[in-house]
Amino acid sequence: MDTVILSDWLAVRLATRRERGDAEPAYRQLLRLLQQAILTSQLPPGTKLPSSRTLASDLGIARNTVLHVYDQLTAEGYVLSTTGSGTYVADTRPDCRAVKVHKAAAAGGSVADAARPTDFMESEARDGADAARRTSDMAHPSRPTGMRELSARGGRLIREAGVSPKQWGAFMPGVPDVSEFPARTWSRLQAKMWKQTHPDLLTYAPGSGYRPLRRALSDYLRVARSVNCTPDQIIITTGIHQSIDLAVRLLTDVGDRAWVEDPCYWGVRSVLQSSGLALAPVPVDDEGLNPSESDLRAPPKLALVTPSHQYPLGMVMSLARRRTLLEYAKQHGVWIVEDDYDSEFRYGSRPLASLQGLDDAGRVIYVGSLGKMLFPGLRIGYMIAPEDLVDTFRTGVAELYREGQLMQQAVLTEFIMDGYLTSHVRRMRALYGERRQMLIDAITARFGDSLPVMGDEAGLHFVLGLPHQANDRAVAAAAHDAGVIVRPLAAYYSGEAAAQRGLLLGYACVPNEKIGPAFARLAQVIEQTSLQARRRSPHAA
């Protein structure tokens, strides 16, 4: 392309863009077109560009604009300018050695073809073909297919992902009623803290979080959860996921076995697997984790349990089982991660003391979060590290995640110290208890006691058992179409064989007046689905 053709080519393209209503400034349009032409070798290395004055008059734009574009092209290495001799296209082709030759050419020498490593030869040939295909627009870049697969662990993570795109509505489990959160109080405390902010609170966190918050949390947890810890043992994280991830990366290696409860929370499975752990699902019964003789014969490196309220079934791990697990962990060097989620919301029953409080061998890492008590978007959680690992965990959290958010932690501390946390939790406990009862009443009114309710003593959800022949995944899908979110219990199991059939129903985030109508829709779905199932297998119980 000589310089006259170049001017025409540019003029046509600029005009086309203007006609299409492209509001991009002339500067950026011209820059892009020239970059594109150079990258696709429509302007090959060594080509002399028209002078800025000529190009400006050819295109009918300000000379300053062209000068700016040339400057930018020079700064980015697309062209080389030599005083007096003009502006030349640089060789930016994928071969560093060739660049120097063309620098010489631009300075007045001849364009020599330098030898290239064979590795890059094939690609240059392809480059030419590509350029022809691409014409002048980058809008639809060609993409090689066939190497777009994720890695094995990435593929598994995505295939088995449990996260739901919706995080709100009847009967989304595990979500508190954030519309009840005292936003005005929070906002007031926030404004107060931002008035007196200190640089230290705006930069990275030093690894374990805002100290007054750690003090407040250790006081709270010692009384409410019988944990046995000093403020120093508390590490602030962004929640359960990060806490577990940290424990896994510090205490386990790729290929190590981890016990998880069967069923368990999907997030735990994803975090552990993507860190290279081999999951060993261990069954639960009405006393909690119930390892078989063969489970016991192969001690895991780590066991992840939810003793205060098994997720998702809701039973409480018995004291005997707790002591068994602790003793086993002590003997075999197993790390126990105690996920104490939801323990604040109990209806009637008293909570058992935490495993952490019973542990005399420093094998328990206790993890919890404030999201369900306040609002999930807050992303503040905590873990209690065994005393002799505190420094390690502090370093680990700073090194791996480089956390901050100290201002938010300071606001939270005020919120706790002023008593708003406990009064909010108390109010929510009453509200959720009421909603739980409304939902149970609706179930009983419709189904009598033919469908069992499990794990309703605590938390933000319970499990509604389904008849044996019912397919809970099908019910959940049909419910979704009817505008009701329920999670199939089977999805929480390691495999279909072990799976009980049921639905997770979250009631906490559903306004009282919506519980009845939403359940009516769900009930209809359940009835239709089981009717269909019964028709298909008329001899089933």
Determine contact, residues 366/356, Cβ cutoff 8 Å.
yes
> Which residue, 20, 127, 220, is CA-closest to 29?
20
How many helices (H) and strands (E) the chain has is answered by: 20, 14
Minimum distance between the CB of residue 254 and its own copies, rounded to whole angstroms?
5
Minimum distance between the CB of residue 399 and its own copies, rounded to whole angstroms?
4
One residue of 2, 19, 23, 151 binding its own copies per CB under 8 A: 151
Task: Give kind and range of the element (H or E) at residue 505.
Answer: strand 502-506
Minimum distance between the CB of residue 131 and its own copies, rounded to whole angstroms?
10
Does residue 483 interact with its own copies by CB under 8 A?
no
One residue of 327, 418, 441, 527 binding its own copies per CB under 8 A: 327
Nearer Cβ to its own copies, position 153 or 468? 153
For helices 512-536 and 420-447, give the axis angle rounded to 10 degrees.
40
Q: How far is CA 182 from CA 32, 178, 187, 194, 460, in A?
A: 51, 9, 9, 18, 19
What's the CA gap between 507 and 442, in Å, rounded?
Answer: 12
> Taken in order 423, 426, 431, 435, is the CA torsion positive or negative?
positive
Does residue 158 interact with its own copies by CB under 8 A?
yes
Does residue 214 interact with its own copies by CB under 8 A?
no
Burial class of 320 by CB neighbour count within 10 A (0 to 12, 13 to 18, 19+): exposed
Does residue 541 interact with its own copies by CB under 8 A?
no
Does residue 442 interact with its own copies by CB under 8 A?
no
Tell me the per-residue interface mask from 449 to 478 with its own copies, x by CB under 8 A, - otherwise. ------------------------------
Does residue 37 interact with its own copies by CB under 8 A?
no
* Window of 52-60, 237-245, 416-424, 437-445 that interacts with its own copies by CB under 8 A: 237-245
Does residue 154 interact with its own copies by CB under 8 A?
yes
Nearer Cβ to its own copies, position 181 or 220? 181
Nearer Cβ to its own copies, position 424 or 501? 424
Q: How far is CA 360 from CA 248, 357, 394, in A?
A: 21, 8, 22
Under the phi-then-psi rule, with left for phi > 0, alpha for psi from -120 to 50, and beta for the rest, what region is 255? left
Nearer Cβ to its own copies, position 97 or 426? 97
What's the CA gap between 78 and 83, in Å, rounded?
Answer: 17
User: How many CB atoms sit inside 10 A of residue 82's CB?
Assistant: 12
One residue of 58, 130, 232, 457 binding its own copies per CB under 8 A: 130
Nearer Cβ to its own copies, position 322 or 501? 322
Site for its own copies in 374-413 (CB under 8 A): 375-379, 386, 388-389, 392, 395-396, 398-408
Does residue 331 interact with its own copies by CB under 8 A?
yes
Nearer Cβ to its own copies, position 195 or 535? 195
* Tokens of residue 62, six digits: 């300000």
Residues paired with 366 in a beta bridge? 338, 384
Nearer Cβ to its own copies, position 176 or 455? 176
One residue of 87, 252, 343, 494 binding its own copies per CB under 8 A: 252
What's the CA gap between 37 and 45, in Å, rounded?
Answer: 11
Does residue 134 interact with its own copies by CB under 8 A?
yes
DSSP string, 59-114: HTS-HHHHHHHHHHHHHTTSEEEETTTEEEE---SS-HHHHHHHHHHHTTS-----
Minimum distance between the CB of residue 394 and its own copies, rounded to whole angstroms?
9
* Window of 373-381, 428-436, 446-454, 481-489 that interacts with its own copies by CB under 8 A: 373-381
Site for its own copies in 270-309 (CB under 8 A): 270-271, 274-276, 287, 290, 293, 296, 301
Number of residues counted as binding its own copies (CB under 8 A): 141
Site for its own copies in 17-36 (CB under 8 A): 28, 35
Does residue 513 interact with its own copies by CB under 8 A?
no
DSSP string, 227-259: ----GGGEEEESSHHHHHHHHHHHH--TT-EEE
Minimum distance between the CB of residue 138 and its own copies, rounded to whole angstroms?
6
> Which residue, 447, 70, 402, 17, is CA-closest to 246?
402
Q: How far is CA 147 from CA 139, 144, 150, in A?
A: 21, 7, 9
One residue of 5, 12, 161, 540 binding its own copies per CB under 8 A: 161
Tell me the per-residue interface mask from 257 to 276 with its own copies, x by CB under 8 A, - otherwise. ---------xx--xx--xxx
Does residue 419 interact with its own copies by CB under 8 A?
no
Under the phi-then-psi rule, with left for phi > 0, alpha for psi from -120 to 50, and beta for the rest, what region is 174? left
Site for its own copies in 39-98 (CB under 8 A): 39, 71-72, 75-78, 90-96, 98
Burial class of 235 by CB neighbour count within 10 A (0 to 12, 13 to 18, 19+): buried
Determine contact, residues 179/169, Cβ cutoff 8 Å.
no
Bridge-based pairing of strands 502-506 and 487-488 is antiparallel
Task: Evaluate the omega torsion of the peptide bond into residue 45 and state whether it is cis, within 30 degrees of 0.
Answer: no
One residue of 41, 42, 52, 238 binding its own copies per CB under 8 A: 238
Does residue 162 interact with its own copies by CB under 8 A?
yes
Does residue 249 interact with its own copies by CB under 8 A?
yes
* Window of 161-169, 460-468, 484-492, 528-536 that interacts with its own copies by CB under 8 A: 161-169
Site for its own copies in 190-209 (CB under 8 A): 190-191, 194-195, 197, 199-207
Residues paired with 235 in a beta bridge? 383
